[in-house]
Amino acid sequence: MGYAIAVQKQQYKTYILTDQKAQSRIEVVPERGGIITRWQLRDEEILYLDAERFANPDLTVRGGIPILFPICGNLPDNTYSIHSKDYQLKQHGFARDLPWEVIDQETQECASITLRLHSNDQTKQLYPFDFEVVFTYQLKGNTLEIRQSYTNNSAESMPFSTGLHPYFATADKTQLEFQIPSTQYQDQRNKTIHSFTGSFDYQSDEIDVEFRDLTDVSASVTDKSRKLHLHLSYDDTYSRVVFWTVKGKDFYCLEPWTAPRNAMNTGEQLIILEPEASLETVVALTVTLS
């Protein structure tokens, strides 16, 4: 009873990483944005996935853990400027839409798979930099660790932000209790500031809020209806935690971002990577079932 990786040819080639002792498994689809589509722990589904949207390559994935790069959120008119030239980037960037390449697998100390995304002619029309992004997904027990490396292979400084957009499954949002290391949030739709006491009003059609001024590098959620506790940790590269959900859908998103939306234009919390430099970040998710 140990760690294993299997490959299945579904609509897309899917890598299934298993920790048999912990009864934990994740599914990874490299060619559909390098995404984790599923995480099961003792028969509990941790993640939500809209399977219909996932099957349509023309639609963005709504579910799993999409990768946000080289921006988080959206830009006004999807436009930003570098060196007096305008470029177009769709919401959350292009990493979640492109095929990633599998470069390593490991089943000794954990079940682990490493994926890589390189700049190409297509990305350079949207983002004029040579880059390499490497993600390693490590599954061990009830913890999923996402180790990331960003390298600037350009001759000039490379600005970017990055984040993750996990969709967590829930049957009853009113049974969720949040511990988020901030006392207030900004509503992203009207930019108003609200104090936070640990829960949300789910009567709205959509909730899209950003927590800033974080006082800790972790947040957690208790889903009382499922007797499930989720702990999200991230390093101090991440300056924001975003909460998003839609009425009538059985998911909520708790997203670590390194910068707010439109940072590519405002420069706020934007990462600037010098030529040949690399940045490493890590996000970990731990689930406890009682």
Let me know: does 77 contact 84? Beta carbons within 8 Å: no
This prediction has a pTM of: 0.97
Sign for the CA dihedral angle at 252, 258, 263, 268 comes to positive
pLDDT tens by residue, 100-151: 999 999 999 999 999 999 999 999 999 999 999 999 999 999 999 999 999 9
Side-chain-facing half-sphere of 73: CA atoms under 13 Å: 26
CA 259 to centroid of chain Cα atoms: 13
In this predicted structure, what is the pLDDT of residue 212? 95
The answer to whether position 137 is within a domain reads: yes
Q: What percent of the chain has pLDDT over 70?
A: 100
CA 286 to centroid of chain Cα atoms: 15
- Helix, strand, or coil here: 257? strand
Let me know: does 129 contact 154? Beta carbons within 8 Å: yes
b/e sequence 245-266, b meaning 16+ C-beta within 10 Å: beeeeebbbbbbbbbbbbbbee
The answer to whether position 17 is within a domain reads: yes
Which alpha helices (DSSP H) does 15-67 contain, by range? 51-55
The answer to whether position 85 is within a domain reads: yes
DSSP string, 189-242: TT--EEE--S---TTSSEEEEEE-S-SSSEEEEEETTTTEEEEEEE-TT--EEE
The answer to whether position 281 is within a domain reads: yes
Q: Which of 186, 110, 185, 95 is nearest to 141 (CA)?
A: 110
The answer to whether position 273 is within a domain reads: yes
pLDDT tens by residue, 211-247: 999 999 999 999 999 999 999 999 999 999 999 999 9
- Going by their DSSP bridges, the two strands 271-273 and 167-169 should be labelled as unpaired
The answer to whether position 280 is within a domain reads: yes
> Which residues lie across from 9 on neighbouring strands?
13
pLDDT tens by residue, 55-74: 998 999 999 999 999 999 99
Q: Given a cut of 90, is residue 199 above it in pLDDT?
A: no
Let me know: does 153 contact 131? Beta carbons within 8 Å: yes
d(CA 244, CA 66): 14
Q: Which domain holds residue 247?
A: 3-174+235-289
In this predicted structure, what is the pLDDT of residue 66? 98
In this predicted structure, what is the pLDDT of residue 68? 98
pLDDT confidence of 269, banded at 50, 70, 90? very high
How far CA 15 is from CA of 18, 40, 94, 107, in Å, comes to 10, 14, 22, 13
CATH code of the domain in which 77 resides: 2.70.98.10
Q: Which of 129, 114, 47, 28 is nearest to 80 (CA)?
A: 129
**Going edge to edge, which strands form the sheet with 35-41?**
3-9, 13-19, 24-29, 35-41, 44-45
Total count of domains within the chain: 1
Average pLDDT over residues 31-50: 97
In this predicted structure, what is the pLDDT of residue 1? 66
pLDDT confidence of 189, banded at 50, 70, 90? confident
The answer to whether position 230 is within a domain reads: no
The answer to whether position 215 is within a domain reads: no
